[in-house]
Amino acid sequence: MKTAAIENANAVPLRNRVVADLAELVKARLTLLVLLTTAVGFYLGSESPVDYVALFHVVFGTAAAAAGAAALNQWWERRVDALMCRTRTRPIPAGRMPPLQALVLGIALSVFGVAYLAIVCNLLSATLTAITIGIYIFAYTPLKRTSTGNTAVGAIPGAIPPMIGWAAARGNVGAGAWGLFAIIFLWQLPHFFAIAWMYREDYSRAGFRMISSDDRSGEKSASQSVFFCILLLVMAGLPAFLGIVNFVYLAIELLLSGLFIGVAMRFLRMRTASAARALFLASIVYLPLILVALVLTKS
């Protein structure tokens, strides 16, 4: 009886570890963000009443594809992940998951997600999803070790999910979808510039080419962050002028974007790790608030 009890007690932490490893492999928090932006794209692209069954289908298919792409990314970067403090405890470099297992899981989830969207939603949403995976794995991932332009390239697949949702709702990608793309694309740049500068030594150790690699003072990273925050303030107002949302949204957007610019300018003025972290945290707060504003002010 005691032996069985001990085995059961040991089995629970093991199951928890497996679940935690799978969540880390598929980058659960990043995947959740993808699902959120996909859902917002679908909602804004939908005619009333919103088809919530169709919303579930596009979110489910996109979730599988996003999880698969994340697993493939970690499989590809398993050796360089082992060189960085912030990633060396991931399942593959830490030795808790065989690389082949991650590769097979990544391919299976990616293929399933694209096929599911093609069958249950429409071919356009599936095509956009396939393009997202392709750019993320075959362009962004290898570019991280060859060009500082990798951040901009990586922002493209990060900005496509709301277009996937829009395409699933309307069967096209009109001006509204491109407006959402612009918001998410521009938001990612100061977000990742702050991360790259905070972990610049880690990235350099792994051989990643980031704008922070030769930016010890932080001036380049901070000035670029300010520039793209200002551009975001302008472009994030597009949905109001396109008639997707009412002009109450514009007032909210100007306030949020103005505050975001203020935090970026503080990073430029101080150029410290705490200022960079404040910009990173501000970016995390900004995006869900702007998405909520879009949903609540839909025309």
Q: Where in the chain is the domain with CATH 1.20.120?
A: 174-299
Peptide bond before 49: cis, by omega within 30 degrees of 0? yes
Look at residue 2 in the predicted model and tell me its pLDDT. Answer: 47
pLDDT at residue 93, as a whole number: 94
pLDDT at residue 6, rounded to an integer = 43
Residues lower than pLDDT 50 in the chain: 1-2, 4-10, 12
- Specify the CATH number for 174-299; select among 1.10.3470, 1.20.1740, 1.10.10, 1.20.120: 1.20.120
Q: How far is CA 30 from the centre of its chain?
A: 5
**Residue-level pLDDT at 195:** 95
> What pLDDT does 14 receive?
66
pLDDT at 10: 47
The correct CATH number of 11-172 out of 3.40.1030.10, 3.30.2350.10, 1.10.357.140, 3.40.50.300 is 1.10.357.140
Q: What is the pLDDT of residue 207?
A: 87
Residue with tokens 């970026």: 264
The CATH 1.10.357.140 portion of the chain extends over 11-172
Query: pLDDT tens digits for 181-222?
Result: 999 999 999 999 999 999 998 888 888 888 888 888 889 999
Phi, psi of 298 (to 5 degrees): -55, 135
CB 176 within 8 A of CB 214: no
| Residue corresponding to tokens 């009443």 | 49
> For the whole model, what pTM was predicted?
0.93
